[in-house]
Amino acid sequence: MASKKSIVRKLIFAYLFLCAAGVLAYVVVELYDRFGPSKLVVEGIPFGLPAGTELAVGESPEIEKSLSDYSFATRDEIRRATDLLENGEVQQALEVFDAIALTYPALEAARFGSMTALFELDSLDASRRVRLETLTEDWINRYPAGAMKAYVDSRKAYREGGFTTALEFARVASDKAQAFFAYRIWYAELLLQAGQETRAAEEARAAISLSQGGSLKAYALLAKVFHSVGQLDSCSSLLEYASSRFPAAPELLLLRGLLEEYRGNYDQAEILYQKILALRPQFRDASEALATLGEKTPPGNGLGVSITPSDRAKVAREILEPLVNQYPDNLPLREALGRAYLKGKDFDLARMQFLEIQQKDSEYPDIQLRLQEASAVREMATPMVGLAENLNRVADSLRISNPATKHDFNTRLGHYLVRYGASPKEFFSHYAESNFKQIKKRVWQETFEDGHHTHIYTVLFDSRDRYYGVHVRVVDSSTAGKEHGRAPEVFTRLLQQNSRISGIGSATGETECGDVVIDAAVWDAQDNFEILARVVGKPEEVRMVRFDKRYLPMGLKLCDYLDYLNAY
């Protein structure tokens, strides 16, 4: 009997022990979740980290959080300066960051941007060296933990020629704050220079995810990694995706030119290199690429020299299929997957994706056209997109300055420095009314010549005499090159110009709107909407509208903007 009691007592103690262990484990998990290192879970971004990947926040400074306390206009200026910095326009980016920091000294995003831009400059005068030293000390004092100091020390060591030291400090910063974009992108740059492509790719993918796919530099770094190791099919697929988001990015254009050379398309490669130099004459890599045209060989083992649509489609499918499975209601992802199937000539699979989209949203843009493509059982020909003109003439036209027009760079393309909602009296207090002609009630128009380009800007006021938008038409009136069968092309130039003012827009690609095919770029902000477009077959003319977003109806599709573009 005593033996049975002993056994029961032991079982009770064992049960109580297990219960206590379970409670203790629960408490430990709760305490870890509440007080342990916080995590960031990334979303599924093309070419980024796998969806659901956890990154330790660690010692990441809350720069983005502080930015949310400021006006939309200020945040938009920060975005524009960041775009300039990523496009290599370091001096211009520094000027914008400094101007914002002067107005808002406590805005961390501006001060961090200024410090980064100063580190990026090739050389510094005495005053800028003092400013950089002040900024670095300030940042270390704000964030005394090791990650910020390691990042600053890495930047300093790199400027002083200590590459190995810079690489190690960058690793420390990246490890201590895995969720901070600036540390990851800087470490990726150094890893690529060190020839550590695998780790560089990991850091670049992390940067893509952390930027929500909004960083040109992150995409360019990953493309360089693919190019460096000879994965040219992956490089081509990434460039195809990234170029749709950053159409005028020199780094991407350069890599596209190299791939064209490897295919033997030397004319296309030359056009791309000259396009870069027309936009950024001092871009040394493009100059060297042009000087050695036809002499290059593919890197690595030469894989992917012959890059077919099927090759690109395969890479795209590998990226998009898991994303569509994870986000089945994301219709743009389904459309992208359907297009990848089309390129790979898997017409039945493409049609299934487009039918799924139609079932979920019968009004989805151009879904009927996509279904027709999938039913045609043929691969749609892609029109050649490029400069169909003498690019030396474009480079010259970029430098034209005509003081008589009274338009500086920032007021070109209808970027009048007058707020939306201004009255005609307020508008014409800034701009001479004698330069305008009233063409109808509440509509004023000015015309001026800029070299061989005719600019026609139409300013619009509503029924309460409030300024709400502007219509732009630019026509290349030159005859140079036409006798040799070359048509002028102004869209590329003006796209770059507006990207420097409004930030990098989203390219739409060529879109059929009835009998008209348009190629456009869109800038869509909280209170402002811009679309710059050309009609395929009319390369001498570009049209654009800028509107107070409140004046546009909801749910407009791309082709719906034709009425606005053709209004004047």
Say if residue 471's pLDDT is above 90: yes
Other Cβ atoms within 10 Å of 244 Cβ, number: 12
pTM of the model: 0.51
24 Cα distance to chain centroid: 48
Q: How far apart are CA 339 and CA 323, in angstroms?
A: 15
Structure tokens, 152: 């600053």
Structure tokens, 265: 């398309």
Computed on alpha carbons and rounded to an integer, the radius of gyration of the chain in Å comes to 28
Say if residue 186's pLDDT is above 70: yes
Residues 27, 160 within the same domain: no
H helix and E strand count, the chain: 23, 10
49-63, 96-110, 436-450, 544-558: lowest mean pLDDT where?
A: 49-63
Residues 416, 370 within the same domain: no
How many structural domains does the chain have?
4
Residues 464, 558 within the same domain: yes
Per-residue model confidence (pLDDT) at position 53 = 84
326 Cα distance to chain centroid: 24
Tell me, yes or no, whether 561 lies in a domain. yes
| H helices present in 344-435, as ranges | 347-360, 367-375, 391-398, 424-430
Pairing of strands 467-476, 453-461: antiparallel
Q: Which pLDDT tens digit goes with each residue over 495-514?
A: 877 877 777 777 777 888 88
Per-residue model confidence (pLDDT) at position 382 = 34
Q: Which CATH number do you get for residue 356?
A: 1.25.40.10
8-12, 21-25, 241-245: lowest mean pLDDT where?
A: 21-25
Residues 320, 221 within the same domain: no
Containing 298, the helix (H) or strand (E) segment is none
Say if residue 202's pLDDT is above 70: yes
Tell me, yes or no, whether 384 lies in a domain. no
Per-residue model confidence (pLDDT) at position 9 = 66
Tell me, yes or no, whether 560 lies in a domain. yes
Residues 215, 114 within the same domain: yes
Helix 72-86 to helix 90-103 angle, to the nearest 10 degrees? 160
**Backbone CA torsion sign across 476, 479, 481, 486:** positive
- Report the candidate in 128, 415, 91, 123 with the shortest Cα–Cα distance to residue 280: 91
Residues 408, 503 within the same domain: yes
Residues 151, 31 within the same domain: no
| H helices present in 177-263, as ranges | 181-193, 197-210, 216-228, 232-245, 250-263
Q: Identify the band that residue 16 occupies on the pLDDT scale cut at 50, 70 and 90.
A: low
Say if residue 395's pLDDT is above 50: no
Residues 78, 204 within the same domain: yes
Sequence-distant (≥ 6) Cβ neighbours of residue 396 within 8 angstroms: none
Structure tokens, 88: 């290599």
Per-residue model confidence (pLDDT) at position 71 = 80
Say if residue 446's pLDDT is above 90: yes
Q: Which residues of 335-348 are buried (b: 16+ CB within 10 A; e: fewer)?
A: bbbbbbbbbbebbe
DSSP classification of residue 483: G
Residues 116, 24 within the same domain: no
- Report the candidate in 184, 192, 151, 148 with the shortest Cα–Cα distance to residue 168: 151
- Tell me which residue range forms the domain holding 25: 2-36
Tell me, yes or no, whether 196 lies in a domain. yes
Q: How far apart are CA 256 and CA 385, in angstroms?
A: 13
3-12, 84-93, 204-213, 402-411: lowest mean pLDDT where?
A: 402-411
User: Is 550:527 a contact under the CB 8 Å cutoff?
Assistant: yes
Which of the listed ranges 187-201, 303-317, 369-383 does the model predict with the highest average pLDDT?
187-201
One DSSP character per residue, 503-521 reads ---EEEEEEEETTEEEEEE
Tell me, yes or no, whether 396 lies in a domain. no
> Residue 477, exposed/middle/buried by CB under 10 A (0-12, 13-18, 19+)?
exposed
Per-residue model confidence (pLDDT) at position 17 = 63
DSSP classification of residue 551: G
The larger pLDDT score, comparing residue 401 to residue 114, is at: 114
Q: Which pLDDT tens digit goes with each residue over 243-253?
A: 888 888 889 99
> Residue 358, exposed/middle/buried by CB under 10 A (0-12, 13-18, 19+)?
middle
Collapsing DSSP to helix, strand or coil, 340 comes out as helix
Q: Identify the band that residue 460 occupies on the pLDDT scale cut at 50, 70 and 90.
A: very high
Tell me, yes or no, whether 303 lies in a domain. no
Q: How far apart are CA 218 and CA 223, in angstroms?
A: 9
* Average predicted confidence (pLDDT) for the chain: 79
Sequence-distant (≥ 6) Cβ neighbours of residue 134 within 8 angstroms: none
Q: How far apart are CA 73 and CA 186, in angstroms?
A: 28
Residues 459, 505 within the same domain: yes
SS (H, E, C) 30-91: HHHHHHCCCEEECCCCCCCCCCCCEEECCCCCCHHHHHCCCCHHHHHHHHHHHHHHHCCCHH
Domain boundary among 375, 393, 419: 375
Tell me, yes or no, whether 272 lies in a domain. no
Tell me, yes or no, whether 398 lies in a domain. no
Residues 454, 527 within the same domain: yes
Per-residue model confidence (pLDDT) at position 311 = 56
Residues 488, 411 within the same domain: yes
Per-residue model confidence (pLDDT) at position 449 = 85
- Report the candidate in 449, 450, 461 with the shortest Cα–Cα distance to residue 424: 461
